[in-house]
Structure 1
Amino acid sequence: MYLGMDIGTSSVKAVLANDAGAIVATASRELALSHPAPLWSEQDPDAWVDAAIDAVDDLAAARPRETAQVRGVGLAGQMHGATLLGAGGQPLRPAILWNDGRSHAECAELERRCPSLHAISGNLAMAGFTAPKLVWVARHEPDVFARVAHVLLPKAYVRYRLTGEMVEDMSDAAGTLWLDVGRRCWSETILEATGLGLHHMPRLVEGSQPCAVLSPDFARRWGMAPGVVVAGGAGDNAASAIGLGAIAPGDAFLSLGTSGVLFRVTERFAPAPRSAVHAFCHALPGLWHQMGVMLSAAASLGWLARILATPESELLAPLGEAVERPSPVQFLPYLDGERTPHNDATAAGAFVGLRSATGRDDIVQAVLEGVAFAVRDNLAAMGGSSPAIAQVDLVGGGSRSALWAQIIADVLGIPVHRVEEGDVGAALGAARLGRLAATREEPAKVCTRPRRLASFVPHASTMAAYDEAYRQWRKLYPALKELSA
């Protein structure tokens, strides 16, 4: 039996997976976000730890026999979050999250300080990444910066609390902007440009590599045997890829979680910084991946549900499982800025085309389509590299909507597949990495593809209408950017 934990933005999920690879139990705990100023997004690091412990407590209470059989543990987590620790290992301030845009000015400063940044990291300096956040802290909170002894990412902080070890895997480390992604090691050059050194960084391991053991206290608490192996784990998207069996070049998936990610496995380091595509290490040795990233995907629908005080399911129900034509309203889903392809932390969301006849269903449909158009932007940004994306598996909370899946298929013009356990893919991938660390099996044996629950093929007539709608939608960002300049 293997335990996987996903330290997400809105919740922590934990799963138990058996030797056959099936999920036998799940548990989750909600997390709260804080937005103390415009563009800011923070969380209490200890809230991640408490939620993770509570979720595993739930599993141990509901499935004590299975939990007692756990041999390996893996962790996945939201990427980029700057968790700043003092000399005693305590957080010095709330963690600055991936969707925090306060450091957009520091990005230009970092690229000025380190002209080789793109060549080493393979990525643009973006406000979401960890390194610019530390430049911001040094400038605006110098007393905090002076006391920073260690910088960890969210899942690494949870692992530290569960094992006493400060360790990070390659896939999550790549998202800090401090990693030499091609060589899979920390870059002293980029660290120096942010006023840090190697001593501030955790030890690096591959995601499937054992790196620690669960502390005796937690092993006893959950009824596990001593010496349970903890794996390097992965950033949430690389972990989702492991859960989906996306471990061969060309394999691709689309995650519709709080953020949105179009993910493609590559056999080599394939940077494309000019189009704001991320090039990161995969969670397995010798593999890399590209990602196009949207900062507000399912979060856009969640935002609409919140301001209309209506559950998402009630918003979607009147639209059924397919639409005949695009909404007369268009939506830019840039509620927290955007990464691919604009790299603009100050980009804002917008509705265009509102009239007195506009109804709620038009607005709901526009939100779904706006996110789908943003996915198409990502597909276009990644189009210059090979292999081409011919189909995608769909995961994340948004994958539960058949309507959204069909809209995405029609907008992208490629088949979209909803898969089993799509909403816990990262936690399942973490469990698989825990298994690989404990058993040293071949990844191809463990990282199998999940069963497809439904496939959505593009409808020719709707595709044509969406092609025209997308061309019009593409004009919105530059026009509104000019107005707000």
Structure 2
Amino acid sequence: MYLGIDIGTSAVKLVCADTDRILTTSSVAIKTSSPQPGWSEQHPDLWWQATRDALDQLSGQITLSEVKAIGLSGQMHGAVLLNRDLHPIRPAILWNDSRAVQECEDLRAAQPEIGHIAGVPPLPGFTAPKIAWLKKHEPANYAKLSHILLPKDYVGLRLHGELVTDASDAAGTLWLDQASRDWHAGIVEATDVAGDWLPQIFDGHNCVGAVSAQAATETGLKPGTPVVAGGGDAATGAVSLGATEPGRGFISLGTSGQLFVADRAYKPNPERYVHAFAHTLPDRWYQMAAMLNGARPISWIGGQLGLSAAEVVALAETVSGDRVPIFLPYLTGERSPHGDPHIRACFFGLEDSTTRADICRSVVEAIAFCFADAAQSFGDSIKELPELAAIGGGSRSELLLRLIATVTEKPVVRSDGADSGPAYGAARLAAFGEGALDRADLALQPPTTDMFEPADMAPLFERLARFRKLYTAVSLAE
């Protein structure tokens, strides 16, 4: 029995699995704070407490002491800033934080080839420019800084006491030389970071520590249980779907969104803001379009209208007319394919007759349109994919998957446990690290339970064209 822990943005999710199936899951919600416009933060201790609470939920279903190994997954790019005593200096600055715009410009100037070295041009959501921002705007906190971790790796620290990460999470910092899979000294120096602040890098299946006596007391896990490095949520989501070899791709519909294609080679495409990153497994890379606004707009509009996410989608199912407004879903700016931290969300085409159902439909359609833009940004490299698998909480919506299949012109498939993808992938990496699975097993795709084929929906493509024109008009007016 293997445990996967996924430190998400909206929840910590746990999966307990054997070598070929999910046995049980648990989840504990966490909140994000935005103390200033464009800021997005969470205190690392929230992740640890939510992990403990989720383990407590699991303890009613399984015997935690029977867990053989643990794998970690988590939201990427977050800056977890620790002092020399390994305590957080301040709340972590998250992936969807847009404060470090000027620092990105400075980094581009200092490292003109950074897009080809680090796999993507500097964007404020990444870890590296946040440290330059910290030095400029919070010098007292910068003076205390001794260690930098990614979100999942802080939970790893609390479990086993080591300062480590994996290649896929390191890939999302901007400090990694993707080709060599090691920290790039020039980029590290350009962002006012000391090399010894950064953790040691491992492959995702490598054992990096064991549950300490203190962590065992706090969690109920057995002391000495091996912990593997795991991966960023995109890479562990890929492992859950067998997307570790070329020709495999998937979409992830969590708070953020990703369109992911696995490869054996490093293929940067910074001009289109397609991320080219190291995979969590050795000698593998991937290309990914990363959208800051995945399924999050559904929960956002639900909050405004007093509806659950399921109720938003159900209302959206009831309408499909031409008078549905167009929604730009850029609640926190956008990364792929625009690289635009300043763009914000808006509705266009609201009428006196517009209903709540129309608004819900426009929000769901907008998420699909973002994936159409993402697919377009890949160019020919996506044409050979036979299908796209779907994971994340948004994959529960059949309407959304049908719309994405149509606008990307790719069949979308879903399997059991799709909404627990990254945590399940982390559990599989733990099983690989312990020898219960081999590398070939990680490339096996789970059985398909549902397939959504592209449909003949000409009005939808007309609204997609209007969506793209609206983005152009709004971005020019910024």
**Interval containing the TM-score (normalised by the shorter chain):** over 0.9
Q: Which residue of 1 aligns with 2:43?
A: 44
SS at match of 2:342: coil
What's the % identity of the aligned pairs? 42
Contact 2:315 2:361 in 1 (8 A): no
Contact 1:170 1:234 in 2 (8 A): yes
For structure 1, the residue ranges without an aligned partner over 5 or more in a row are: none
Q: Which residue of 2 aligns with 1:2?
A: 2
For structure 2, the residue ranges without an aligned partner over 5 or more in a row are: none
Residue of 283, 288, 291 corresponding to 2:288: 291
SS at match of 2:381: coil
Length-normalised TM-score, structure 1 = 0.95
- Point out the more displaced range, 231-240 or 402-411: 402-411
What letter is aligned with 2:3? L
Distance 1:457 1:101 in 2: 36
Residue of 343, 362, 365 corresponding to 1:366: 362
Contact 1:376 1:412 in 2 (8 A): yes
Q: Which residue of 2 aligns with 1:453?
A: 449
Distance 1:356 1:256 in 2: 32
1:369-380 matches, cutoff 5 A: 369-380=365-376
Contact 2:6 2:233 in 1 (8 A): yes
The one-character-per-residue Cα deviations of 1:180-204 (angstroms, maximum 9, x if unpaired) are: 0111011111100011122010011
User: CA RMSD, aligned part only?
Assistant: 1.6
The one-character-per-residue Cα deviations of 1:412-444 (angstroms, maximum 9, x if unpaired) are: 111111221011000000001111111174222
Distance 1:222 1:101 in 2: 34
Q: Which residue of 2 aligns with 1:335?
A: 331
Deviation at 1:472, TM superposition (A): 2.0
What letter is aligned with 2:468? R
The one-character-per-residue Cα deviations of 1:190-222 (angstroms, maximum 9, x if unpaired) are: 100011122010011001111111113334666
Distance 1:327 1:234 in 2: 43
Number of aligned residues? 478
The one-character-per-residue Cα deviations of 1:14-47 (angstroms, maximum 9, x if unpaired) are: 111113x211111111111100000000001011
Deviation at 1:327, TM superposition (A): 5.4
- Point out the more displaced range, 220-229 or 443-452: 220-229
Q: Judging changes above 3 Å, is the alpha-carbon distance between structure 1 residues 357 and 450 closer, same or farther for their aligned structure 2 residues?
A: same
Distance 1:388 1:270 in 2: 16
Contact 2:41 2:97 in 1 (8 A): yes
1:463-474 matches, cutoff 5 A: 464-474=458-468
The one-character-per-residue Cα deviations of 1:114-172 (angstroms, maximum 9, x if unpaired) are: 22322321211001100011111111011111211000000011100110001000000
SS at match of 1:212: strand
- Point out the more displaced range, 1-10 or 360-369: 360-369
Deviation at 1:473, TM superposition (A): 1.5
Q: Which residue of 1 aligns with 2:110?
A: 113
1:121-200 matches, cutoff 5 A: 121-200=118-197
Distance 1:475 1:92 in 2: 44
Q: Judging changes above 3 Å, is the alpha-carbon distance between structure 1 residues 144 and 190 closer, same or farther for their aligned structure 2 residues?
A: same
Deviation at 1:279, TM superposition (A): 0.8
Deviation at 1:254, TM superposition (A): 0.6
Length-normalised TM-score, structure 2 = 0.96
Distance 2:146 2:382 in 1: 41
Q: Which residue of 1 aligns with 2:202?
A: 205
Distance 1:317 1:467 in 2: 22
- Point out the more displaced range, 205-214 or 38-47: 205-214
Q: Which residue of 1 aligns with 2:476?
A: 482
Contact 2:116 2:270 in 1 (8 A): no
